[in-house]
Chains A and B, each alone.
Chain A
Amino acid sequence: MEDFLVILLKVAAIYGGVIGTAALYTLAERKVAAWIQYRIGPNRVGPWGLLQPLADGVKFIFKEELVPAGANKLLFRLAPMMSAVPAMLTIAVVPFAGDMTLFGVDTFGAIAKIDMSAFYVVAIGGLGVYGIILGGWSSNSKYSLMGGLRASAQMVSYELSLLLGILSIVVVSGSADLYDIVDAQSGAIWRWNAFQQPLAFGLFVIATFAETNRHPFDFAECEPELVAGFHTEYSSMKFALFFLGEYCAMIVMASLTTTFFLGGFEVPFWADAPWVIQLAAFGAKTAFFLFLFLWVRWTLPRFRFDQLMSLGWKVMLPLSLLNVFLYGALTSFGAFGD
């Protein structure tokens, strides 16, 4: 019974934490944009505008639901859910901290610890593409359709690089369990996969930008060409769900980059740190990647769509394959035999 309560507590805490972070992240996006452009940003609701996300949420709830004429009513309502739910489900296996004891129950700092967690995230996260295609298609608007299709072609193209990057990490770690992958990077800081596999690190980070439809690859909502892309016709909470899903996906991707390449929750040179410190270390590393998403968005110009597809298929895919080969050969001939 206590076990069950602890599990419930963990699920609620992690899910609540991620949703809360996503809400604050929307504020951070506007604040960072403002700072980069030498403005102030939202500062009216609460101290430093901290309650802005809450105000936005309330406003979204009371906004009018608009279903465009000729739209497929059922799919139009389902699409935001199909976009947000997979992103929120991927947080289930992210290891936020190591072993811990809560109320006398020995447990670990993730919702679930499964053997194939490294591939679970790709398998579930990849399903987010349906929400975008269907959202774009069911709106009965040309902009939406084009945005949705572009985004889906982009997401499947870059999912390969993501998968191959994970594969090369798994080869070296010898396990597909995220906890084992983190373990393999414990101890000295140069044991982090970012230093062991710099090429895979670079490719993975680029692929996370494309997977989450973020700048410079945000063709799903390419404003100058497609108004707002696949969610042009969406309003109120349905619109908010698309965004919540996108921000959750970004948080998950940042967490995964941390887990795969920056040693996850491990504190360098302090193998058995208490879980609170591990959680803080994880948060700090993830925050860097979250900031990177914003920094890049307000700094770089956007790609052109054919350039994006060329980059994905002609550069990222061959390089990812080569990288898997390289580390496969090193592992197979005993270079990592420790």
Chain B
Amino acid sequence: MATKEYSFYPGCSSERKASASNYMVSVETMCKTLDVKLNEIPDWNCCGASIGYAQGGELPRHAMNARNIALSEKSFGNQDIVATCAACWLGAKESQERINHSESLMGDINTILGEIGLKYEGKQHIRHMVEVLIEDFGYDELKKPVKKPLEGIKIAGYVGCQTNRPFGVAGESFENPKYLDKLVETMGGEPVEKYDQKVTCCGGALAFSEPEKSYVQIKKIIESAYDFGAEMIVTPCPVCQMNVEVYQDQINKKYNTKFKIPVLYYSQLMAVAYGADAKGAGLDGNIVRATKLEEIAARK
């Protein structure tokens, strides 16, 4: 198959020494195997995230996303825009939808971008990486490069919110999306199909501002994974990954629990299954180490 190219929007958390830097490492490894070329949008900026609304307001938020889209148009206008972060994808897609459906917004956005010599058309498709995997490859195609199936590992597919609502992935239901389970299965792992907190909110940005309330959410997400026998959790979102992984000790202290469950990105599972070593799969970036995956990665 020929190389597939996309205009790539990595987002702030994917930067070096940022909270999802290991996501980026594993995505690069995965894309190498799949012969995907990600063309980074030159000088992209933050999408405003979901918490940007309060101080940012409407137009400034859309302007942030419109700048990225306009920069992409200039450099890679004939390619789809792909984001790996759920919030980046949602923010960009939402702004594009709003601007494209309103003449007055379109006018204002181009007045704003005109100040910095850019023009917005908004014709590219904006997609999340999992859409690329599912739609441009498909599960059968994704299975072909598997060298080390993740045999015997029970994995809970924690989809979370923002790749699932309000847009979601085509063909999936909001209440019980199956794509992570299918990806786990494709990589030879064992999806925990009964996992009943797969679309529960982790608290998002409120894990910062209202930690106690978010811990209740995170506790539910982890407890259910354990209840149904999961050995690790997999997610497509940097905020979900961070919230569910890094606060486990805080929750243990507060609720007298003994949580210690690894939380991985789908791309880390895929990198390992495709034969990458632990570093290439970004496993050294997990605070709760995924020892079972490390063992597979170390196997010759």
**Do chains A and B interact in one complex?**
no
